[in-house]
Every structure is written in structure tokens, then in C-alpha cells.
Copies of this chain bind each other. A is one copy, B any other.
Amino acid sequence: MSAGRAQRWVFVVKKGYQDTDTSLQSSVITKLKGVAFTNTSELGERLWDVADYVIPPQGENVFFVMTNLIVTPNQRQTTCPEVGRTESFGSQTPTKLGSVNIPDALCHQDEDCPEGQAVVAGNGVKTGRCLKDRDSIRGSCEVLAWCPVEKRSKPKKPLLASAENFTVFIKNSIRFPKFKFSKMNVLATNNESYLKTCHYSMEHPYCPIFLLGNIVRWTGNNFQEMALEGGVIGIQIEWNCDLDQAPSECNPHYSFSRLDNKFAEKSVSSGYNFRFAKYYRDAKGIEYRTLFKAYGIRFDVMVNGKAGKFNIIPTIINIGSGLALMGAGAFFCDLVLLYLIKKSNFYRGKKYEEVKSSSRKSLTSPTLNGSQSPDQLGGL
């Protein structure tokens, strides 16, 4: 019967007899390992290690692994055309670029570039000059900015493709304050060598070291694709502990999902990238910088969980209300009797007669109880 089912649900599924602690205290420490070698025109031969590609460096629960980047070296504060002629002039004419990317930087004469005005969605403030090629009628406004400005072309293949083989060590310590219960996702039994060699998988559910490539695969994505555009991946660690059992039964359960919208592939809202710069001073103390537009994968480690332990109070509460649930039964019966059954008029009559009888002195009321019959008999 419905109430009974609900009752069973409350107890078996919801563990209604337990007191639960959902205020999980958790700390996550992440540590990446791996190096990548690249050979590009801008940077030449270069080796990337943890200090280069992990941002921010302090291994917190959110970390970003750079998998692709656009480098704009030796930028200085000076003037240059808003639209990247300086480096990719042959390939892309400023006019075309300008019209496509930064309409606001497009100009026919100097009047189109009011001095001091910032270029909308651009890199600098206009100087008042319109830079044109001899042949073309349209040009690009000159701007005061970090020059040369960044090129708008993106590599077709991820630069740090080998990031797929990087590993991350996720160290998660939790504590349920109410029950004074602490545990780690690193099994105490694990020996050093095991932790140096193992990788998390179905076979090694308690190894806290993950291959980035696997993590991405488990979310149903292709690492190389994701490395090109960037994205965000969530690593859920769930601690669902029944502390009435042995502590060894309380283990983390990992799940992986892509958090950003992968379907918006070619839209403005696809991927994940950001810009940062390294600042230098030359011999004369003039500042210059190297601008990086970094594409990559951000990993969010999210820990949640709850613990349950037998406690008398919730047990009583649930049993009590459970019983109450079945008390409803009586009410149901009446419902049935009063409305659902043919020929119930008779019963209804009786039902309410009884109530009326108590509200006003009625003739029928005496008949309710034999003790009055003597009078009646007397009245005969």
C-alpha cells in the first residue's frame, strides 16, 4: 500500500534511522607531473615543465593546464595599426581583417580615428591617424597600445599535444566534524612505489593519480580536440559513508564530466582561453612584455558527501510519522466508503448522523446508545 511503500523508502533508501552529517570539511591538493617539448617559429626549441604550463602554480582544487597558446613576444608601449599588419601583412590585408574582426578600427581618413578614443573590442586607444596602404582606400586606425598587437590566427593543432600524458596527483582529505571522522583518498596501505607507478582506472580505484588523457576520455571527449580550443572539466569526488559500518567501507567515488558546453563548438562561447603576460625590462630599464593567449583545460575538483550514523531521534521521528502515514489509512477508508462506493448514502447518513448527534441534541442521538432505551421503552 502507498504509505507502506513510502515508509519503506524512507527507511531503506533514505536511511531514516540515521543522523547525517553533510557539513563535509575537505581539502584538495593537486600536483601535476610531465614535460612537453615544442619547436615553433616564435619560441624555437622549448621544453615546458610544470612551472611553465600550470596556472595558477599553487596546486589547489582548480587548476589549468595550458595545451595551446598564441605568443606575441616583445610588446612595447608604442603606436601601431590596430589590425595586425606588422606580422601577417602578406596573408591578411588590414582592410579585410579590420572589417571582419574590429569594425571600429576600420577607417577611410584620419577623421574616422578620433584621438584618445578606445577601440571597441580592440587593443588600444586611437592616436587620430588612419594608416592606409598605397593601393587600398580603407585602412586601420593607428593606436597607442602594447605593440605589435596580437595576431588573430590560431594554430590548427595543439602546441602541447603531449599534455595528454601528463599525470595529476589529487590528494583529498575529508572530515565529518559531527562524527569526528577523517579520511584520505590515499590509502594508508599504499607503498611509495605503488603511488609512483599506478594510474587510476577500474583496476586501481584507489590510486589517486590520473592521466589527463583518461580524465578527458571518461567525459566522452577527445583530448586533442579539447586541447585545441580549451574547455572545463569537473572531477567530482563523492564520499557517501555509512559510519555504522567499518571505516574501510567509506571510500571516495570519482566521476568526471565536461562542465562547459561542448556543443557550442564553433560559437563565440566555445572553449576556454585567457591572456596573461610576462614583463621584462631591457638594459635601459624600459618595460616590455611577452603576451600569451593560453588555451587549455581547466579542471575543477569538487568534493561532496555525507555520512550517516544510527541515532535514536531521527528514528523516532521517522517511525512516528511513518505510523502517522498509516493513520491516514483510516481516513482513506472513509473516503472510499463515503464517495467511492455505490449505495453509500446509507453509511454517509449514519456517519454524519453521529457527528450531528454530538453537535445538537437530536432525537437520533439517544438511539446511539442502548442506555437510553429504557427511557424510550418508558416512553412507549
Chain A interfacial positions (CB closer than 8 Å to B) = 2-3, 5-6, 9-10, 23, 25-27, 29, 31, 33-37, 45-47, 49-52, 55-60, 62, 64, 74, 77, 116, 118-119, 121-125, 144-146, 162, 165, 171, 173, 175, 177, 182, 184, 186, 188, 192, 195-196, 232, 234, 236, 257, 259-261, 264, 267-269, 272, 274-283, 285, 289, 291, 294, 298, 300, 302, 304, 313, 316-317, 319-321, 323-334, 337, 341-344, 346-347, 350, 353, 355, 357-359, 361, 364-373, 376-377, 380
Q: Residue of B at shortest CB range from A29?
A: B272
Contact status A77-B45, CB under 8 Å: yes
Complex contacts, A74 vs chain B, CB 8 Å: 285
Q: How distant is A56 from chain B, measured CB to nearest CB, in Å?
A: 6
Complex contacts, A175 vs chain B, CB 8 Å: 257, 259
Contact status B366-A370, CB under 8 Å: yes
A selection of 21 A-B contacts at a CB cut-off of 8 Å is: A9-B317, A27-B234, A27-B298, A27-B300, A33-B121, A35-B145, A49-B124, A51-B276, A56-B58, A57-B274, A171-B260, A184-B261, A186-B264, A195-B269, A327-B330, A329-B329, A346-B358, A350-B368, A368-B369, A370-B373, A370-B376
Q: Residue of B at shortest CB range from A125?
A: B37
Q: A2-B320, A144-B37, A361-B343 are in contact. Are A29 and B123 (CB under 8 A)?
A: no
A283 to B234, CA, bound (A): 44
Contact status A328-B317, CB under 8 Å: no
A313 to B119, CA, bound (A): 56
Q: How distant is A78 from chain B, measured CB to nearest CB, in Å?
A: 10
Q: How distant is A84 from chain B, measured CB to nearest CB, in Å?
A: 15
Contact status B173-A259, CB under 8 Å: yes
Complex contacts, A274 vs chain B, CB 8 Å: 31, 57-59
A277 to B52, CA, bound (A): 8
* From A25, A46, A195, A370, residue with most partner B Cβ within 10 Å: A370
* From A58, A145, A276, A304, residue with most partner B Cβ within 10 Å: A58
Q: A283-B283, A326-B331, A330-B333 are in contact. Are A364 and B358 (CB under 8 A)?
A: no
Q: How distant is A71 from chain B, measured CB to nearest CB, in Å?
A: 12
A326 to B27, CA, bound (A): 45
A144 to B320, CA, bound (A): 72
Contact status A359-B330, CB under 8 Å: no
> Of the candidates B57, B283, B289, B364, which one forms a contact with A370 in the assembled complex, judged by CB atoms under 8 Å apart?
B364
A77 to B361, CA, bound (A): 101
A369 to B326, CA, bound (A): 27
A230 to B60, CA, bound (A): 14
Contact status B333-A34, CB under 8 Å: no
Contact status B278-A279, CB under 8 Å: yes
Q: A173-B260, A364-B370, A371-B364 are in contact. Are A333 and B341 (CB under 8 A)?
A: no
